[in-house]
Structure 1
Amino acid sequence: MLKEIINNKKLDRIKNLKISTNSREQNKGKIFLGIKGKSFNGNDFADKALKNGAKLAILQNSKNYSKKKINVKSTLKLLIKFSQKIRISSNASQVAITGSSGKTSLKELLGQCLQKNYSTTFSKNSFNNKFGLPISLINLKKDTTYGIFEIGMDKKGEIDYLSKIIKPDVGVITNISYAHAKNFKSLLDIAKAKSEIIFNIRKNGTIVLNKDDKFFDFFSNLANKNNLNIISFGKHKNSNIRLSKLKKSTKSYIIYIDVASKTFNFKINNNLLPYLDNILASIAVCKSLNIIDKIKSNFFSNYKIPSGRGNIKKFNVGSKKVNIIDESYNSNPLSLNFSIKKFDNLKVNPNKKFMLLGDMLELGKFSKKLHIEAAKDINKAKFKKLFVYGNYITETFNKIRTQKRGKILKSTNEILNIIKNDLNNGDFLMIKGSNSTGLNQITKQIGSKF
């Protein structure tokens, strides 16, 4: 298919064409595609990719000519065209997930659980933009049964653009909150931008909606106008997919879920309990794919929480052991509220629980207000001290009860010092902040610093 887009004889000698955009990975037999973005230029890494085994490098307007390099006007446009051809030729059912929070966690849950029994492709990390989504799509194979992808945005029109590429059979909108709010005037504007996915779902396709979300009626009206099937999930009594009972055993839970007139039960580990909305959404997707009667009670077993999404890391710090709950991948008002509640429900003495919070970024004119409001949820939680790192988060800190205030931190060293000096053996530190605050990278370094 790549040969149909690029008429170049250098491609003739390569069989089983595979694309790579990462020069650091093993590229044996692959074609390296040098993507150019705002802060990076893939052309600069072509030689490294070739050294790592790439057969060819396709570059954008490069003056670095060689027998192993092909020049094109736009590597991004090439990538998108190639991914569209892959999508058109694929018989896999495609699921596209969007929403203000929970996209990656839901994509991981569905992808990990489906791949146990079906050939499943799902986007790695948060590959949900104009670069990541096409890269994920080109990983579809001829025998792929299901493709699970997430679609992100930070302005109007992006979800329309990306969902036109994927043309999903099933769309999911997890929820609506003030995430990436800097380019929007209101929550309704954010909801309208998220609704763009509805118009690009394939004919007779399905939209999965959160019945508990305040914009459910708005989305369902649009879906009805576009003749889509609607499957709802949530706590609402009229949800199509609804939790009916929860039964605790020694190290796990049995959850009973009503699906239309049937009740299904599933065994889940304790770490999945806070993700009940994602479980319900997963069941809704399985129903839309007509496999609900085929999945077994252990469907959600062995799920691994992605790094930075609430996974617990244990570190030796001198003579003591410290538990880091890594929520550092991202933060917005809804996901912060979720993380605080999850931390509050952790069965640990409150005096052994600490929080380190960074800014919630890209909130625009809503930043100060939403950081101040976050203090309400934090003050309700049971924990010992709150530490903060950033600018806007000091607005939160100033509204926290005096006895719960820890310190305002301004450097990596200060963060490492509170782990070393302020935490005792067996303590838990939950770290959360937007990716661009740097907390995610700092958290990754903790293990090597002690």
Structure 2
Amino acid sequence: MTEPLWTLEAVAAAAGARLDGEPRPITGLSIDTRTLKVGDLFCAIRGEARDGHDFVRDALGLGAGAALVAEERAAEFAGLGPLVLAPAAGDDPVLAAMGGLAAASRARSTARIVAVTGSVGKTGTKEALRHVLAAQGPTHASVASYNNHWGVPLTLGRMPAASRYGVFEVGMNHAGEIAPLTRLIRPEVAVVTTVEPVHIEHFRSIDGIADAKGEIFAGLEPGGVAILNRDSPSFERLKAHALASRAGRVIGFGEHPEADVRAERIVLRPDLSIVDASVLGVPVTYQLGTPGRHTALNSLAVMAVVRALGADLALAALSLAQLKPPAGRGERTRLALPGGDALLVDESYNANPASVRAALATLAGVAVTGGGRRIAVLGDMLELGPEALRLHRDLAGPVVEHGIDLVFTAGPMMHELFEALPTARRGREAPTSADLVEAVVEAVRHGDAVMVKGSNSTRMGRIVEALKARYGSGAADPTRSAAQPG
């Protein structure tokens, strides 16, 4: 029988809460009734739009093991099932109680803990670490991009006591947001993938973003390892933050001649990459199952973490060959059109100037045949401040440089890019992604390679889903695709 994640008595003790009802074993944690599983502890946090207390009845009816609720709301749920009653604390007593549970989870764990942040690539790096470490022992990691004030406590609270490794993603929009999260996580290894002008509207300069990312070292365990992008202009600034913390060592990764984990050679192919690297003096050659120079460079950070943890470097190198991009972050799907196949590259999860440029470069590496075209479908990039319009216009250069044949745009800021493009490269523009769906679906033909990308709130994923719905979908197969890699 699988050990429960928590007992209700332990939950109440960790959360500084009171238990009301018959104790039951807790097998998971949930904040969403749509994904809740039988035996989960439902945590009724207050979201931006809804209060979790509005769903407590549904959660208990669906088989939740108990509900963590504010003590002041307890009377509303009397007799419905076991309750853990969080005392008044700040704006959200339930979230505060989750913080206590997260701290208790970290305190009981003997896992080797890694935290990852960065303007670009943190989710992909976290997923790559999950992948390679899971081959070496029980590994717990953040779901999707659960990297904020509720995502980190939720992920910590879900960590099984028997985990050997824990990998946590940490994000921010403003200064001061990472420090309290990393103090909960208490990582032994902390990674900053890179610093780019993302969320720049909330900062005076890119140095401010670097300082905010540098907060990840505030929670570093004594003697811990800081892993930094040696190619980044912010390297020295981040190194200063690391050395001011309890870090015992700083490891730089990249192509820089002084990088401790250095790419000696990167071979880019349409559907994979091959990396020759020196990992702290150890030569390693590995194949990476995800395409693109940016992912190849971030794989160096993965190898740095593996070495810092004392895990098996050779096994990690073998594991990376099986790594595949997740939905929204480069997932490839074959579309069956009249006359042959097309290739869909789903980059719709999020967007900023650096990640769009990387996606365009990766699309350029896809070989198209039979008159196929490389098509970029781009939505607005948000939180870029007063330079937003210029940053959108400036993408016209990479579009031309990488030989992108046709560009469709959604949103008022992407209008700037559309107007800056040569006429022959203009597909269609629209105010929203919903207004662009039909134009893209009708434009795609066999042999094309189509990449979709935009900030989350632009909902570019609806275009991805429309293409899959119209033309069917399946895992991309280079041997059958008309957009076959050369």
TM-score (norm 1): 0.93
Tell me: CA distance 1:335–1:23, structure 2 relative to 1, closer, same or farther (3 Å): same
Shift of 1:370: 1.4
- Flag the 1:230–1:12 CA change in 2: closer, same or farther, 3 A: farther
CA-to-partner distance for each residue in 1:31-65, whole Å, 9 max, x for gaps? 21111122122122222222221122222343622
Partner of 1:291: 311
Q: Is the 8 A contact 1:24 1:52 kept in 2?
A: no
Provide the rounded CA distance (Å) in 2 between the counterparts of 1:448 and 1:248: 31
- After TM superposition, the structure 1 = structure 2 runs for residues 30-109 of structure 1, keeping only pairs within 5 Å, are 30-60=40-70, 61-62=72-73, 64-67=76-79, 68=81, 70=83, 71-72=85-86, 73=88, 74-109=93-128
Q: Please list every run of 5 or more consecutive structure 2 residues that lacks an aligned counterpart in the other structure.
A: 1-9, 472-486
How much does 1:201 deviate?
A: 0.8
Q: Provide closer, same or farther for how the CA distance between residues 371 and 413 of structure 1 changes in structure 2, counting only shifts above 3 A.
A: closer
Shift of 1:190: 0.8
CA distance in 2, matches of 1:96, 1:50: 33
Aligned partner of 2:24 among 10, 14, 23: 14
Q: How does 1:11-410 map to 2 (within 5 A)?
A: 13-16=23-26, 18-60=28-70, 61-62=72-73, 64-67=76-79, 68=81, 70=83, 71-72=85-86, 73=88, 74-228=93-247, 229-246=249-266, 254-269=274-289, 271=291, 275-293=295-313, 295=315, 297-316=317-336, 321-349=341-369, 351-410=372-431
Query: Would the alpha carbon gap of residues 78 and 251 (structure 1) be closer, same or farther in structure 2, given more than 3 Å must change?
Result: closer
Q: Distance in 2 between matches of 1:56 and 1:85?
A: 19
Q: CA deviation at 1:354?
A: 0.8
- Give the stretch that moved more between structures: 281-290 or 399-408: 399-408
1:261, CA displacement in angstroms? 2.6
For structure 1, which segment, 258-267 or 385-394, has the greater mean C-alpha deviation from structure 2 after superposition?
Answer: 258-267
Q: Percent of pairs identical after alignment?
A: 27
SS of the aligned residue for 1:140 comes to coil
1:24 and 1:49 in contact (8 A); partners too? no
- Following superposition, the deviation at residue 170 of structure 1 comes to 0.7
Partner Cα distance (1:53, 1:309) in 2:
33
Paired with 1:399 and 1:253, the residues of 2 have a C-alpha distance of 32
Determine if contact 2:330/2:346 at 8 Å carries over to the other structure: yes
Cα distance in structure 2, aligned partners of 1:83 and 1:351: 51
Provide the secondary structure at the position in 2 that maps to 1:298.
helix
**Amino acid of the structure 2 residue aligned with 1:64:** E
Q: Structure 1 161/326 Cα, relative in aligned 2: closer, same or farther at 3 Å? A: same
Change (3 A) 1:274 1:175: closer
Equivalent in the alignment of 2:460: 439
1:274 Cα deviation after fit: 5.1
Matched, 1:423 2:435: no
Q: What amino acid sits opposite 2:11 in the alignment?
A: L
Which amino acid in the other structure matches residue 346 of structure 1? V
CA contact under 8 A between 1:266 and 1:299: conserved in structure 2? no
- TM-align CA RMSD: 2.4
Residues 251 and 175 (structure 1 numbering): CA distance in 2 closer, same or farther, change over 3 Å?
closer
1:130/1:227 CA distance change after superposition, 3 Å: closer
Deviation at 1:315, TM superposition (A): 3.0
Kindly provide the CA deviation profile for residues 295-345 of structure 1, in whole angstroms up to 9, marking residues without a partner as x. 354121321211100111223456764422111100011111111111112
Q: Give the match's secondary structure for 1:325.
A: strand
SS class of match (1:295): helix
CA contact (8 A) 1:59 1:69 kept: no
**Aligned-pair CA distance for 1:194:** 0.9
| Structure 2 CA distance for partners of 1:204 and 1:337, relative to 1, 3 Å | same
The 1:107–1:334 alpha-carbon spacing in structure 2 relative to 1, beyond 3 Å, is same
Q: Distance in 2 between matches of 1:248 and 1:172?
A: 24
Q: Which region of structure 1 is more displaced relative to structure 2, 100-109 or 193-202?
A: 193-202
Whole-Å Cα distance in 1 between the matches of residues 22 and 54 of structure 2?
25
Please tell me the residue identity of whatever aligns with 1:14: R
CA distance in 2, matches of 1:448, 1:192: 44
Answer with 399-408 or 23-32: which moved more.
23-32
User: Which residue type is aligned with residue 406 of structure 1?
Assistant: G
Uncovered stretches (5+) of structure 1, i.e. residues with no partner: none
Counterparts of 2:367 and 2:28 in 1: how far apart (Å)? 47
Q: What per-residue deviation string (whole Å, max 9, x for no partner) do you get for residues 187-246 of structure 1?
A: 111111111112221110010000000011111123223352101100011100012235
- What SS does the aligned partner of 1:309 have? coil
The structural deviation recorded for 1:131 is 1.0
Deviation at 1:91, TM superposition (A): 1.0
Q: 1:408 to 1:226 in 2, by over 3 A?
A: same
Q: Which amino acid aligns with 1:65?
A: F
Q: 2-side partners of 1:166 and 1:413: how far apart?
A: 39
Q: TM-score, normalised by structure 2?
A: 0.86
For the 8 Å contact 1:266–1:296, the answer to whether it is kept is no
Distance 1:250 1:401 in 2: 26
Cα distance in 2, alignment partners of residues 354 and 81 from structure 1: 48
After TM superposition, the structure 1 stretch with the greater mean CA deviation from structure 2, 31-40 or 240-249, is 240-249
